[in-house]
Structure 1
Amino acid sequence: MTKDFHSKRPIRIGSRGSQLALWQANHVLYALRDAGYAVELEVIRTTGDRMQQPGFVLPPGLDGKGIFIKEIEEALEEGRIDLAVHSLKDLPTTLAPQFTLAAIPKRADARDVWVCEQFWGLHTLPEGGRIGTTSPRRRAQLLAMRPDVTFVEVRGNVDTRLKKLASGQCDALVLAAAGLDRLKRIESVHYRFSPDELCPAPGQGALAIETRADGFLASDTPDEWWDNFVRGAVKFFNNPQTRFCVETERFALDAMGGGCSLPVGIHVAPVCDAETGDFYRIYAQVVAPDGETMVQLDQIEPMVRQPSAETLGRRIADDLKARGALDLLLAETVA
């Protein structure tokens, strides 16, 4: 492995073409270039991008999360790209065996935010106000606080959604804070919901750098050597504390049924406290579709006896199940 060789063969990053996806991919690209690597970016059009076209029909067997990664993972498997940068919450809880998460960088703000120029808080929205969101989780959580509000299907990237709000298609938006922060659109943010109000989706606010897995190719091939090189190149992005938190959330979601589109909020965050000792704060919410029934957790886990992410995640799921969360999820499935 020589500097001369890797300077001649660029690391190829695959990304969707949305403004936010390109920000995320370029964030990784520039850091790799600063570290001395040759890097190229390939924009890949996904099913999720084509969904924006009128009359588009979702292919059978593809869920609401797979639409953003299917074509990118195909390019990764075929060797057309070497790594992909995703919003972690877009990934399924279990990856196909040919892929691995080589790095999870430090997490941005995981919270949801309120976007509404006229009414600067959910409590000030007039009765029957229209909120733009397609997320079952956000809808149920918002109904738990305001049973009178209505919802408008608002799809597309951040700019598209903001334009739909400005054109009057809805009265307010609820979006992920991280996307607006990364795109420097914080002037649109009027309130950040605390995790005990709107509990974020597992992995929200975190990026994932996905590569081919170790051993996916025969060990004596040049490309196997190259894959090892790529995984080593991105190691410096990995933040162990963020990784523990988001993997705990994903293990919990997996134990609840594994569906990325389940209306489940789980948030694990480190808290440093000199008096009581450092700990992880755990929030979780499962809310009935009408917002009338909720199962929630608010717990702490001392870092001094930190279990594995899988152990803690499955314990969170067991606690939610013991409180009746599966009944709410089954009711959602039947509905």
Structure 2
Amino acid sequence: MNRKLTIATRGSALALAQTGMIAEQLTRLTGVEVAITVVTTEGDTSRASLSSIGGTGVFASALRAALVAGECDLVVHSLKDLPTAPYPGLVLAAVPQREDPRDALITRNGLTLADLPEGATIGTGSPRRVAQLLSLRPDATVVDIRGNVDTRLAKVSSGELDAVVLAAAGLTRLGRLDAVSEFFDLAVWPTAPGQGALAIETREEDDIPQLAYIRHDESRLSIAAERAVLATLEAGCSAPIGATARLEANTLTLTAVVYSADGAEELGGERSVELPSGDEATHRQLRLELASALGHDVALQLLDDGASDLAQLGGGR
């Protein structure tokens, strides 16, 4: 008989929707009974900007502490919120199939970014999005905002802001894609490493075979490459960095861009690697290692080009 699994998650509508999706998939595919427990994180209680309280990693710490303490069997994170440094005793046990990684613009009248009036007020809590917005619309007034998806959408509908930028994946999971005025093309607007993907963490010593049913190798490879850029640059989750990896046949291509805070300057790099085929565990591990090495190499290229000085990053040569 399958043992019952307990998943810990944040209490926001989006976090609960994401976790509920994982719980439903596990039950449907394996028959395991799944319970959900809510953990409050510092990122949920503080109204300060994310950059001032430690970046998006503040959403992960309380969940990880609950997992280490044995209060749950696994936790579900938005992968872009997960710090790149390993956490003692925990492993990234599964990455399900990734949702749309793009950013989306929400305006009142369906206006695109180019169509917004001179001096438009646009809300975001992301330094990367601030830089990208100012790069394309230096006349805009970009406002730092916090709050859940509904709170942010309400700032537009009420007229407090002309627009907000949100992740398409979150809007999809909440059934709010109808609010989108424009999706930003990844070729000109790369998003946060891991955006659109979920991370399932477990204790290192635990074996939860049911997770094999929801793992998605292609998504895992893409986020491994993207997150290796962050790790090599020694940049936090909220740094002004965009990265996009795509797998076509056996070719993994990674594009990464580092922005100055004001969006006036940017540095980009792109490389590809051929991955071996095969489903054996050794092949899967080799592909992951090659994906991570690709991200590392792109980051080194960016550092050589001056990315550390451009965005005040911790990485160096």
Normalised TM-score (structure 1): 0.85
- Following superposition, the deviation at residue 262 of structure 1 comes to 1.4
Among candidates 146, 150, 156, match of residue 137 of structure 2: 146
The answer to whether the aligner puts 1:260 opposite 2:240 as a matched pair is: no
How many Å separate the matches in 1 of 2:33 and 2:125? 39
Q: Is the 8 A contact 2:90 2:203 kept in 1?
A: yes
- Following superposition, the deviation at residue 299 of structure 1 comes to 4.1
Which residue pairs with 2:266 in the alignment? 294
- Following superposition, the deviation at residue 281 of structure 1 comes to 3.2
How many Å separate the matches in 1 of 2:21 and 2:251? 30
Structure 2: give runs of 5+ residues left out of the alignment: 278-286
| Deviation readout 1:30-81 (Å, 9 max, x if unpaired) | 12222111211101111111124xxx799x9x51223212221111011011
Query: 2:312 aligns to what SS in structure 1?
Result: helix
Q: Is the 8 A contact 2:260 2:310 kept in 1?
A: yes
Kindly report which structure 2 residues correspond to 1:255-334, keeping only aligned pairs within 5 A, or say none.
255-272=232-249, 278-303=250-275, 308-330=290-312
Residue identity opposite 2:104 in structure 1: V
Kindly report which structure 2 residues correspond to 1:110-149, keeping only aligned pairs within 5 A, or say none.
110-149=101-140
Which residue pairs with 2:97 in the alignment? 106
Residue identity opposite 2:10 in structure 1: R
Q: Is the 8 A contact 2:19 2:76 kept in 1?
A: yes
Residue identity opposite 2:179 in structure 1: S
Moved more, 62-71 or 95-104: 62-71
Which residue pairs with 2:42 in the alignment? 47
- Following superposition, the deviation at residue 332 of structure 1 comes to 11
| Deviation readout 1:283-326 (Å, 9 max, x if unpaired) | 21111112111101244444469661221111010111122211
Which residue pairs with 1:207 in the alignment? 198
How many Å separate the matches in 2 of 1:191 and 1:280? 27
How many Å separate the matches in 2 of 1:203 and 1:17? 21
Q: Is the 8 A contact 2:67 2:73 kept in 1?
A: yes
| Count of matched residue pairs | 303
Q: Is the 8 A contact 2:105 2:182 kept in 1?
A: yes
- Relative to structure 1, the CA distance from residue 291 to residue 43 in structure 2 (aligned partners, 3 Å threshold; closer, same or farther) is same
Which residue pairs with 1:72 in the alignment? 63
How many Å separate the matches in 2 of 1:174 and 1:261? 15
Among candidates 151, 155, 169, match of residue 178 of structure 1: 169
Normalised TM-score (structure 2): 0.89
- Following superposition, the deviation at residue 107 of structure 1 comes to 0.7
Which residue pairs with 2:31 in the alignment? 36
Query: 1:122 aligns to what SS in structure 2?
Result: coil
Q: Is the 8 A contact 1:195 1:283 kept in 2?
A: no
How many Å separate the matches in 2 of 1:66 and 1:282? 24
- Relative to structure 1, the CA distance from residue 281 to residue 27 in structure 2 (aligned partners, 3 Å threshold; closer, same or farther) is same
- Relative to structure 1, the CA distance from residue 316 to residue 120 in structure 2 (aligned partners, 3 Å threshold; closer, same or farther) is same
How many Å separate the matches in 2 of 1:191 and 1:304? 37
Q: Which runs of 4+ in 1 moved over 3 A?
A: 298-307
Work out the percentage of aligned pairs sharing the same amino acid. Answer: 41
How many Å separate the matches in 2 of 1:198 and 1:239? 25
